[in-house]
Structure 1
Amino acid sequence: MIPSRPTVAAVHPCGRNPLMTTMPVLFIHGLWLHATSWNPWIEVFTQAGYDATAPGWPGDPASVQEARDNPESMADRGIDDVVEHYAKIIADLPAKPILVGHSFGGMFAQKLLGQDLAAAAVAIDAAQIKGVLPLPLSSLRATLPVFKNPANRHRTVALTAEQFRFAFGNAIPVEESDALFAQWAIPAPGRPLFEAAAANFNPHSPAKVDTANSGRGPLLLVMGARTTPSPKRSPRPPSSSTGTAPRPPTSSNSPIGRTH
């Protein structure tokens, strides 16, 4: 679900909420999109009274063009590297934030929530975590530009406009997808994809999330009904809780007609 501009009413039904003026909200981008793609969301959440920011991944250049010109600054960054980066950012905040993550950002949001570092989290079209069933063929095709060369684990990989349309813009007009590609698309490190692909074969996978932490804050999983790269079959993460152990608060939503 490509980040598009939300409305103030969607953030808070009464507009600005005077009781939440200092609540931090951290937006976390996924692969192939720059952190500035969250700018329309930051504007709306700020208007609604939240302290909204979108820090980039470690090594992310400040602008889209800089990222395209210097992709190697982002190379070989893995899941744990990025999660630890955001954990340090959260440690400097005045309160636990609400996390909103897209794609791999959604996975990172779930990991940070499971570590009790967030008040709540929203994971939009989240990348598969350990325990989710193998991806369908359409998802594998979307990530083929990375997996076609094992050396890409330690490199960054850029998508073409056509590849971006298949992975991100398959439910919107070609012209709109191409405009989003021109505005926000950047090369991405291959390592997180290789780590996620091997998650179910690695007992110590960095893609593992503490889904049984009953004391964590609420989690909302949002999966576009027409998304391509993320697993459609398992919008709710697996839980290792057994018997009558309390389950952490989790809900899911699948907007009709929405893409990745």
Structure 2
Amino acid sequence: MNINHARTVVFITGAFVTHFGWDAWKDYFESKGFMCLAPPWPFKDAAPDVLRQRHPHDIELATLTLGEVIDHYAAIVQSLQEKPIVIGHSLGGLITQVIVNRGLAAAGVAIHPVPPLGVIPYEFSFLRAGWKALGLFTSLRETYLMSFKDWQYAFVNGMPLAEQQKAYQANVIPESKTVARGGLTRVAKVDFDKPHAPLLLTSGSEDTIIPAHLNYRNFKRYAQNGSVTEYKEFAGRNHFVLGQSTWQEDADYILAWLARQH
């Protein structure tokens, strides 16, 4: 499939963090000739400190569902004149896989993605890092905000304390528990046997919340049906991969991979 005509990139943000984490990526891809969009989730179009001030009583965000987030991005993609390249991180990587599965993208890149339904995330570090977001035995009408301690484990492990703190203040925002729970429902399902546009899944050796082993099992579920499905593990990357000092190396790899899809 020739995707050289696809010059628009839609970046899709994951859970717990602001869409502003894509800013450097947008600038970099635009410098390479792409038009880039990094739209926020519904009810998240504000600065992180503003969104944190609304916690936990932001009822609109608290009651947001994963299906609504997926449809939000699908509508954006479908509003464009041509099918775009879709690049998503974490839960945004799952949404990317769903959009590719629906035939709406020219190509997709899922960076450390949450796996679709059917890939059981039994890895201990995933369970330890992510279970609180489900909000078991708490009100679904209140948002969840990741603590700094959990942020250290789930996103920025291995980084100096000052960098962890700076990243927390700049990125962490309240989350919908219903969105987190949506990953366990049929809305998170893809047809692994269906032919699809080129799809790249990436992982990081130091990622705890979405460990490389889980990403590889996600990749292996796709049928060998002639569609391009590729996997790449990067050494030294944690889940804060978009903001690590190595982010441009990852972006260059993705750009080179996209250039080969013709």
Q: Indicate how the Cα distance of structure 1 residues 183 and 209 shifts in structure 2: closer, same or farther if over 3 A, else same.
A: same
Q: Distance in 1 between matches of 2:226 and 2:137?
A: 38
Distance in 2 (alpha carbons) for counterparts of 1:190 and 1:247: 37
TM-score of the pair, normalised by structure 2: 0.81
Rate the CA distance shift 1:254–1:240 in 2: closer, same or farther, 3 A.
closer
Mapped pair 1:212 → 2:202: no
Map of 1:105-120 to 2, 5 A cutoff?
Answer: 105-120=92-107
CA 1:153 to 1:120, structure 2 compared with 1: closer, same or farther past 3 Å? Answer: farther
8 Å CA contact retained: 1:96, 1:117: yes
CA distance in 1, matches of 2:141, 2:191: 27
Q: Percent identity?
A: 29
Does 2:54 align with 1:70?
A: yes
Superposition deviation, residue 57 in structure 1: 0.9
Find out whether 1:45 has 2:19 as its counterpart. Answer: no
Q: How does 1:22-33 map to 2 (within 5 A)?
A: 23-33=7-17
Q: 1:55 aligns with which of 33, 39, 49?
A: 39
Q: CA deviation at 1:184?
A: 1.2
Q: CA deviation at 1:153?
A: 4.4
Tell me the residue number matched to 1:258.
237
2:76 is aligned, of 89, 98, 111, to 89
Alignment match of 2:125 (pick from 138, 156, 163): 138
Structure 2 match to 1:36: 20
Question: Hey, what's the Cα distance between the residues in 1 that align with 2:220 and 2:226?
Answer: 11
Per the TM alignment, residue 211 of structure 1 is displaced from its structure 2 partner at its CA by 2.2
Does the Cα contact within 8 Å between 2:205 and 2:211 map onto a contact in 1?
no
The DSSP-based 3-state class of the residue aligned with 2:200 is strand
Residues 240 and 253 (structure 1), Cα distance of their counterparts in 2 relative to 1, 3 Å cut? closer
- After TM superposition, the score normalised by the length of structure 1 is 0.82
Amino acid at match of 1:159: M
Measure, in 1, the Cα distance between the counterparts of 2:222 and 2:156.
35
Q: Deviations over 1:204-258 (max 9, x none)?
A: x1110122221x21111011111111143242445475xxx72431101110111
Once residues 140 and 94 of structure 2 are traced to their aligned partners in structure 1, the CA distance between those partners, rounded to angstroms, is 18
Distance 1:240 1:24, change over 3 A: closer
Q: Secondary structure at the match of 2:138?
A: helix
Quote how far apart the aligned CAs of 1:186 are. Answer: 0.6
Q: Which runs of 5+ in 1 are unaligned?
A: 1-18, 200-204
User: Contact between 1:102 and 1:125, CA under 8 Å: does it hold in 2?
Assistant: yes
Alpha-carbon contact 1:156-1:189 (below 8 Å) kept: yes
**Paired letter, 1:110:** Q
What is the alpha-carbon distance in structure 1 between the residues aligned to residue 167 and residue 211 of structure 2?
23
**Deviations 1:126-163, CA, capped at 9 Å, x for gaps:** 01211112331211111233245333545321112221
Distance 1:256 1:240 in 2: 23
1:111-135 superposed Cα distances (whole Å, 9 cap, x missing partner) = 0011011111111110121111233
For 2:84, the aligned partner's letter is: P
Q: Which residue of 2 aligns with 1:129?
A: 116
Query: Where does the alignment leave 5 or more consecutive residues of structure 2 unmatched?
Result: 240-262
How far, CA to CA, are the matches of 1:109 and 1:150 in structure 2?
30
| Structure 2 CA distance for aligned equivalents of residues 126 and 107 of structure 1 | 5
Say whether the 8 Å CA contact 2:108–2:197 is kept in structure 1.
yes
Counterparts in 2 of 1:120 and 1:248: CA distance versus 1, 3 Å: same
1:163-174 map, 5 Å: 163-174=150-161
Q: Over aligned residue pairs, what C-alpha RMSD do you find?
A: 2.0
Q: Is the 8 A contact 2:219 2:230 kept in 1?
A: no
The aligned amino acid for 1:52 is C
Superposition deviation, residue 52 in structure 1: 0.7
SS at structure 2 position matched to 1:178: helix
